């Protein structure tokens, strides 16, 4: 009796950025998926059928896996860069690949063909030297190749490491947008302290403006990565890491957590949406108008282990129609309180957030500052 095996490959795209009703900044995106099924028939008497099924099935699956790298209008890789950091990473990849091609791949393929031809059976031009045991030329070539490869790759890696340092601010004539990111199980909380808003599921960025990001984790170690914008960085409890990014053109890029952190790991994805400065200001206004208050109750639900969908169900108010969650009333106090509480091993109490904000209020009152509404207008 034959045995049937089914292997299914599936890729599902992320949600869109904003879904408030009647919003001028509403986007829509249908989750895309590609899947293929490869069937291998285990018939001991059907070798020909087995071979044909495996060949055709493999071809279909290879094509599907290649198509999985394209998810509608969502940018998935640094090979399709959407900012200066990802562009630098792509060039670094091309340089390293060129070194390996010139000094490894091309010589191997050329010499393999040459040896097969020169020492083929019946060849008359090749010498028969059974007592040969040393060649200075081959000795030098065998050592010079690896040395050159290591030196060139070392120079390329050293230069790219300093140029693409995630802690290094990006050169720009515009002030950087401050962004604070807290990793929870299984969601990212994006805080815009100067705008007084926060979001889960979407990271909005103004085009052409650098973004200075601070990251921490309220739970286990996590890893933030937006491949099309560049630079993966870890987020650790009780510590603050930094990341600098910039989007050069409007569009949507996939963001995710690359560090496994439990059952909901595969759902800890988000959309990084780059938009024009005018649309970003309108988006901020929409969040102020329609967002959920970032209060004791919402902070309590955010701190629970839950996916974005489970968090929406737990909140007293529904999320936006795009499946994301938007908050108003966000401040610097939350991020610093989470860092201190995680470092000391104590839970983040909403009362401590209010106390931290109260401690900072007298200092902020000493010098005039713009309100969040004034900054986005």
Q: Domain map of the chain by residue range?
A: 4-75, 84-163, 177-376
333: its two tokens: 């106090």
- Other Cβ atoms less than 10 A from the Cβ of 292: the count is 21
Say what the pLDDT of residue 141 is: 85
Measure the CA–CA gap between 93 and 78, rounded to whole angstroms. Answer: 10
- Other Cβ atoms less than 10 A from the Cβ of 334: the count is 25
- Find out whether 214 and 221 touch, Cβ atoms under 8 Å: no
Q: What is the mean pLDDT of residues 276-293?
A: 94
Q: What is the mean pLDDT of residues 236-244?
A: 95
Indicate whether this model's pTM tops 0.85: no
Q: Which CATH architecture has domain 84-163?
A: Orthogonal Bundle (1.10)
SS3 content of the chain, % helix, strand, coil (to 5): 40, 20, 40
Say what the pLDDT of residue 356 is: 53
Cα separation values, 312 from 35, 169, 233, 288, 297, Å: 29, 35, 27, 18, 13
What length does the chain have? 377
Task: Using alpha carbons, select from 329, 327, 330, 333 the residue that is nearest to residue 363.
Answer: 333
Segment 158-186, tens digit of pLDDT: 999 999 999 999 999 999 999 999 999 99
Measure the CA–CA gap between 368 and 346, rounded to whole angstroms. Answer: 34
Segment 319-368, tens digit of pLDDT: 677 889 999 999 888 999 999 999 888 766 555 555 554 555 444 444 44
**Is the pLDDT at 3 greater than 80, yes or no?**
no
Q: What is the CATH number of domain 177-376?
A: 2.60.40.420
Say what the pLDDT of residue 327 is: 94
Measure the CA–CA gap between 328 and 330, rounded to whole angstroms. Answer: 6
- Find out whether 25 and 276 touch, Cβ atoms under 8 Å: no
Segment 107-133, tens digit of pLDDT: 999 999 998 988 888 888 777 788 888
Select the highest-mean-pLDDT range: 190-194, 311-315, 338-342, 359-363. Answer: 190-194
**Is the pLDDT at 240 greater than 90, yes or no?**
yes
* Block residue for tokens 């000493």: 366
Q: How confident is the model at residue 93 (pLDDT cuts 50, 70, 90)?
A: very high
259: its two tokens: 């560090």
Measure the N-to-C terminal CA separation of the chain; round to a whole number of Å: 72
Least confident of 17-31, 107-121, 225-239: 17-31
Measure the CA–CA gap between 318 and 325, rounded to whole angstroms. Answer: 8
């Amino acid at each position: 009796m034959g045995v049937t095996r089914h292997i299914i490959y599936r890729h599902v795209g992320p949600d869109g950025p904003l879904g408030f009703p009647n919003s001028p900044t509403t986007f829509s995106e249908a989750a895309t998926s590609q899947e293929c099924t490869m069937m291998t028939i285990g018939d001991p008497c059907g070798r020909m059928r087995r071979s044909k099924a495996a060949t055709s099935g493999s071809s279909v699956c290879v094509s599907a896996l290649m198509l999985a790298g394209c998810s509608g209008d969502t940018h998935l890789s640094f090979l399709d860069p959407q900012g200066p950091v990802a562009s630098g990473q792509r060039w670094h990849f091309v340089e390293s690949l060129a070194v390996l091609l010139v000094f490894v791949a091309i010589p191997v393929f050329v010499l393999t063909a040459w040896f097969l031809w020169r020492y083929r059976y019946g060849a008359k031009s090749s010498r028969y030297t059974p007592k040969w045991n040393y060649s200075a030329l081959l000795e030098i070539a065998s050592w010079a190749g690896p040395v050159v490869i290591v030196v060139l790759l070392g120079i390329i890696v050293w230069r790219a490491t300093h140029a693409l340092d995630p802690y290094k601010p990006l050169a720009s004539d515009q002030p950087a947008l401050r962004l604070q990111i807290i990793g929870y199980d299984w969601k990212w909380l994006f805080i815009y302290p100067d705008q007084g808003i926060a979001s889960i599921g979407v990271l909005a960025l103004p085009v052409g403006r650098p973004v200075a990001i601070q990251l921490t984790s309220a739970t286990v170690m996590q890893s933030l990565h937006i491949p099309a914008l560049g630079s993966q960085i870890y987020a650790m409890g009780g510590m603050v890491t930094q990341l600098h990014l910039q989007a050069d053109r409007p569009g949507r890029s996939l963001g995710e957590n690359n560090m496994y952190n439990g059952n909901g790991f595969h759902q800890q994805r988000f959309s990084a949406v780059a938009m024009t400065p005018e649309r970003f200001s309108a988006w901020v206004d929409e969040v102020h108008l329609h967002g959920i208050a970032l209060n004791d109750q919402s902070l309590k639900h955010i701190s629970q282990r839950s996916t974005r969908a489970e968090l929406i169900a737990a909140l007293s108010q529904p999320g936006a129609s795009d499946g994301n969650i938007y908050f108003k009333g966000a401040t610097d106090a939350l991020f610093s309180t989470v860092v201190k509480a995680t470092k000391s091993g104590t839970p983040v109490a909403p009362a401590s957030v209010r106390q931290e904000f109260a401690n900072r209020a007298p200092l902020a009152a000493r010098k005039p500052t713009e309100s969040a509404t004034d900054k986005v207008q």
